[in-house]
Chains A and B, each alone.
Chain A
Amino acid sequence: MMFLRLPASTLMVLTVALLAACSSGTTRIDDGTNPGVTQPPPPTVPTGPLKAGDIMRILSGNSFRYTRGSRTGTTTFGSDGTFTYQEAGKGEGTGIWQASDGSLCEAFNPTSFLPRGTRTECSPFKQTEQGSYSAGSAVFEAM
């Protein structure tokens, strides 16, 4: 049945692609000593939403320190779509994750300190300027 509308993430990708087409190219820096020489731009974080495959490559099989508001801990994203975590002062738990273009979806399974688990929450997934990653209120730093 038809229930699909063009997803916002797709529109964002298309928009970013159009913008990127207008702004691509290296930054020309003229320092006056060697006119005409093009220097590469400083490394920057990727702009625009990451593709699902990029997010999977970043997370799958890897462990991170995380902060979620005042909560901190460590987490490992399994390649099977599950994750485990150990939350400081609370204990350990599990959940499921899935990447889609531009976003990370997570749901926490019930555990003693989270008796009902959580519903599925999907948040924009981005790389921060510090080289870590953010998804909603969560920040992931590679271990």
Chain B
Amino acid sequence: MPGPDLTRRHFIGGALASCVLPATSLMSTEAWADQDPDDPFQLPPFDEKKLPKDFRRAVVPYPTRHWPGTVIINTGARQLFVVLEGQQAMRFGCAVGRDGFRWAGLADVGRKVMWPRWTPPKDMIERSPEKAKWKNGMPGGPDNPLGARALYLFQNGNDTLYRIHGTTEPMSIGKNASSGCIRMLNQDVIELYRRAPVGTRVVVMAEGI
């Protein structure tokens, strides 16, 4: 039985792989594991162990009467839960609005976008004039503050202008940092994007407002 046909090309390829793989593994493996193969951009690496444990993704006990699939945001705890079967939930850390910018209510996911375009609203430009350069929209990509994915929240069939989205500031997770939107790690919002179809119910709890 013939053995493997090792050629010089195989040898060089293997040697290159042995050089490349350790370099890749220096990046957060979690980030790469969450990357979709057809994603047009690579996720900036981030080691979620830099975040307190309560803000890292985990499956946790979650006794509730809400239907599986419901997304529940505990504003006070800065945590987002996706209700699972069996009185469990997948927990994610998130950032919520700064003082005066938090809100509560029910909404539906009305639209989902990969690497969304971001257009700062007029009042944000008034507060931060340097953002005026993006008044016609900033293309999606790793530098876009909406991050890798956005889920647009609707009420009565209309866009609330609130979104659940990724971030370019992963260390803001767990803080009251946004202007009302719900901010997640890019790898987490990608997971949520996969799990939450259009029509998903979103409950933003009033505690912590």
A residues adjacent to B (C-beta < 8 A): 1-5, 7, 52, 56, 78, 80-82, 94, 96-100, 105-107, 109, 119-122
Contacts and interface: CB of A to CB of B under 8 A. Distances in A.
B105 A98 contact: yes
A78 B181 contact: no
Interface stretch (B11-19, B29-37, B47-55, B149-157): B149-157
Interface stretch (B20-28, B84-92, B116-124, B185-193): B116-124
Contact of B106 (A52, A80, A107): A107
Contacts of A119: 108, 154, 156-157, 199
B60 interface: no
Given A1-B179, A98-B204, A107-B108, 17 more contacts: A1-B165, A1-B178, A1-B183, A2-B120, A2-B127, A4-B101, A4-B162, A4-B179, A80-B64, A82-B66, A98-B104, A98-B105, A98-B206, A119-B156, A120-B107, A120-B154, A122-B106
Contacts of A52: 104, 206
21 contacts: A1-B145, A1-B178, A2-B120, A2-B124, A2-B127, A2-B180, A3-B181, A4-B97, A4-B103, A4-B180, A5-B121, A5-B123, A82-B65, A82-B66, A96-B106, A96-B203, A97-B106, A100-B103, A107-B106, A109-B67, A119-B156
B94 interface: no
B59 interface: no
A28 B175 CA distance: 52
A93 to B, nearest CB: 12
A1 B64 contact: no
B163 interface: yes
Nearest to A106: B106
Nearest to A121: B156
Given A1-B165, A3-B180, A105-B106, A96 B156 contact: no
A78 B157 CA distance: 25
Contacts of A122: 105-106, 155-156
B146 interface: yes
Contacts of B79: none
Contacts of A82: 65-66
Given A82-B66, A98-B206, A120 B179 contact: no
B176 interface: no
Contact of B161 (A3, A96, A99, A100): A3
Residue among B118, B127, B199 having the largest count of chain A Cβ atoms under 10 Å: B199
B201 interface: yes
